Amino acid sequence: MYTYKEITGQGEQLQKTLEIVENLNLEIGNVDQVLFTGCGTSYYIAASAAKYFQTVTGVFASAIPASELFLHTSSCIVPGKKYLIVAISRSGTTSEILIALDHLKGHADLSTMAITCNGDTPMATAADKVIALDHISEKSVVMTQSFSNMLYGLQVFAATQANSTHNLNELKQIPQLVAEALTNEDLTKVVAEDLSKTRIIFLGSGSYNGIAKEATLKLKEMTQTECESYSNLEFRHGPISIVDETTVVILMTQLETADYDQALVKDIQKLGGCVLTIGTTPEGFEADHIIKLTDEISDLNRHGMYVPYLQLLAYQRAIHLGYNPDKPRNLTQVVKL
């Protein structure tokens, strides 16, 4: 199963990504807005990367699905503003991203940067600057290492733009921590293999919301389970009505949201739902299952550590259900229009 190998072998690849991005000269100059874009998993990278970039650099950043950039340009681009478009694609050949880059040329004052796992593609050629992570050559249809490495690469990019030694030093610890993370696979199996839970919800807030969305996509792609994701407290505003004893909520916790997260866990449990938390939690925090991550890395830089658990959970459920995660239904590595 190459999907399994790609999920569990991420630490080494992240180290290589760090070295590549640190050694590139990626000065972006003065821009009003950085617009991160991609499709599917690559769009979810954009969602997390944009929030991270804005927090670390103070430059306004947002994420837009690539198709929106050419279908609804004026809702994404303000005339007269200067943009950096960051195009994200594992393959570098997805139709929407190529159409968007071509379309925007005439519509905005912009420069472009691509991040991809294939530096020799139309997207890389079209962009002014490229982060080429050619060491990631995934066989799996579903994106695993490519998600974690492109997101991590963009975090290192943001920290170097901001000259932020503190953030960079924390990010440098991530490859080793990820390599050590998956030693106990039972931590996710307890939820993945519980088939009495048929409704699965992923919650993450801030720059973790893109990861919650990606976790949902991984589970859908590998198991065709209908699942949902929300920003943590948004879950209370309607979606919580679906909670019952068949529901499991996987909640990404951070130290700065812990009090709110604890109250949310209790509310879900009161309705019969089960909660697995992944993240940093203070002493005394209660949930049905807890995967506790180190708090030596701040909330801002810990993303890479959550990802393998969420990918593994989808993989384990697929195996338990008798599906082949290497051959997901109705999917191809690249979608072309």
- Residues in Cβ contact with 53 at an 8 Å cutoff, skipping those fewer than 6 apart: 34, 36, 59, 61, 154, 157, 158, 161
Least distance to ligand F1P, CB of residue 320, Å? 21
Task: Provide the CB-side half-sphere exposure for 279 (13 A, CA).
Answer: 30
- Binders in 116-145 for ligand F1P, by CB under 6 A: 141-143
Please tell me whether residue 334 binds ligand F1P under the rule CB under 6 A: yes
Extended beta strands in 72-160, E state: 82-89, 109-116, 129-132
Least distance to ligand F1P, CB of residue 156, Å? 19
Least distance to ligand F1P, CB of residue 92, Å? 7
Q: Phi-psi bin for 279: left (phi > 0), alpha (psi -120 to 50), beta?
A: left
Residue in 51, 90, 129, 220 binding ligand F1P, rule: CB under 6 A:
90
Per DSSP bridges, beta strands 247-253 and 199-203 are: parallel
Residue with the closest Cβ to ligand F1P? Answer: 40
Residue in 78, 263, 271, 335 binding ligand F1P, rule: CB under 6 A:
335
Nearer to ligand F1P, 237 or 336 (CB): 336
Spatial distance between the Cα atoms of 44 and 7, rounded to a whole number of angstroms: 17
Spatial distance between the Cα atoms of 292 and 337, rounded to a whole number of angstroms: 42
Please tell me whether residue 42 binds ligand F1P under the rule CB under 6 A: yes
Binding mask 221-260 for ligand F1P (x = CB under 6 A): x---------------------------------------
- Binders in 157-216 for ligand F1P, by CB under 6 A: none
In a 3-state reduction of DSSP, which class is residue 103?
helix
Please tell me whether residue 94 binds ligand F1P under the rule CB under 6 A: yes
Please tell me whether residue 333 binds ligand F1P under the rule CB under 6 A: yes
Tokens of 128: 């002014």
Residue in 8, 41, 155, 262 binding ligand F1P, rule: CB under 6 A:
41
What is the DSSP-derived secondary structure letter of residue 326?
A: T
Binding positions for ligand F1P, rule: CB under 6 A: 38-42, 89-91, 94, 97, 141-143, 221, 331, 333-335
